[in-house]
Amino acid sequence: MTTPAIRISAVTKRYGALQALGGVDLEIGQGEFFGLLGPNGAGKTTLISALAGLVRPDSGTLQVMGHDVVSDYRNARRALGVVPQELVFDPFFSVRELLRIQSGYFGIRNNDAWIDEILASLDLLPKAEANMRALSGGMKRRVLVAQALVHRPPVIVLDEPTAGVDVELRQGLWQFVRKLNRDGHTIVLTTHYLEEAETLCGRIAMLKAGKVVALDTTDDLLRRFATHNLRVRVERPEVAVGLGGILGEGGWIEFGFETYADVEQLLARLREAQASILELQLGEPDLERVFVEVMHHA
């Protein structure tokens, strides 16, 4: 049986009266592209910090590639690369110097060929000799990704990696991360851009108040929770709301439906109520709707 990339068993963590993690159980297989989603304060960053050995859980165990993060910290940390949410950097070094120093933390010498490959893949070679202070926020975030990869870890955790990154940088980053995943790296992603998670992740866990409230493949989550939606703008909005529609921005009224046969019935009911349709849109299920529904019911 293959060792999971990450195994989390009954992990709890409190900060005084606040329960940050309330008994999290999670297993992530080698080679997965896994999404960890949840609102602010759900416990995502605490869980990542516990995996990296920065936070000691009150109870439970965490393993990376079979190595316990407490009793076998050195090997667990070597197997893990973390891209933090905050832009943390040393202002006194160039990009290349910073990556050489990071290599040294793991006892790796003469690592320049791999450093150059990472810099090229992240489009950082033109900035290799630039001081970290001179870089834009998006470039600094790329350097954080490079730092996480410099010791070639099999498991990579990306905590909000595209926050504040422009569209072009974001696309380049995802292209590189997808390649890492194809090459066998396990990727764990937290993001508030749910369309990213929907596109990239094969499986998703949703956290709320320190507990896993949904765990499934992305496709199954979409099938189980999300309905299609019919959005209309009508001459008499109050009539459409009375028929079960939800009034949204710009005067749009939204109805959920399961099958396209339901659309016919909804339109017939609007006609009968003399709510003349001005505009109409049909929407596919998406992860944002799933997320809202799961958080509402959790």
Convert the pLDDT of each residue in 104-159 to its tens digit: 988 898 889 999 999 998 889 999 999 988 888 888 888 999 999 999 999 999 99
What pLDDT score was predicted for residue 88?
A: 77
- Using one digit for the tens of pLDDT, what is the confidence trace for 172-196? 888 889 999 999 999 999 988 888 8
Q: Is the pLDDT of residue 260 over 80?
A: no
Question: Which DSSP string corresponds to 20-77?
Answer: EEEEEEEEE-TT-EEEEE--TTSSHHHHHHHHTTSS--SEEEEEETTEETTTTHHHHH
State the fold for domain 6-223: Rossmann fold (3.40.50)
CATH annotation of 226-297:
3.30.70
What pLDDT score was predicted for residue 72?
A: 95
Nearest alpha carbon to residue 30 among 51, 1, 62, 52: 1
What pLDDT score was predicted for residue 240?
A: 84
| Contact in structure between 84 and 143 (CB atoms under 8 Å) | no
Nearest alpha carbon to residue 230 among 253, 213, 198, 206: 253
Pairing of strands 67-68, 277-283: unpaired
DSSP label at 94?
A: B
Which pTM does this prediction carry?
Answer: 0.81
DSSP reduced 3-state for 227: coil
Cα distance between residue 232 and residue 212, in whole Å: 35
Q: Indicate the pLDDT class of residue 226, thresholds 50, 70 and 90.
A: low
User: Do 6-223 and 226-297 share a fold?
Assistant: no
Q: Is the pLDDT of residue 285 over 70?
A: no
Cα distance between residue 31 and residue 219, in whole Å: 18
Cα distance between residue 144 and residue 138, in whole Å: 10
Q: Is the pLDDT of residue 250 over 90?
A: no
Domain ranges of the chain: 6-223, 226-297
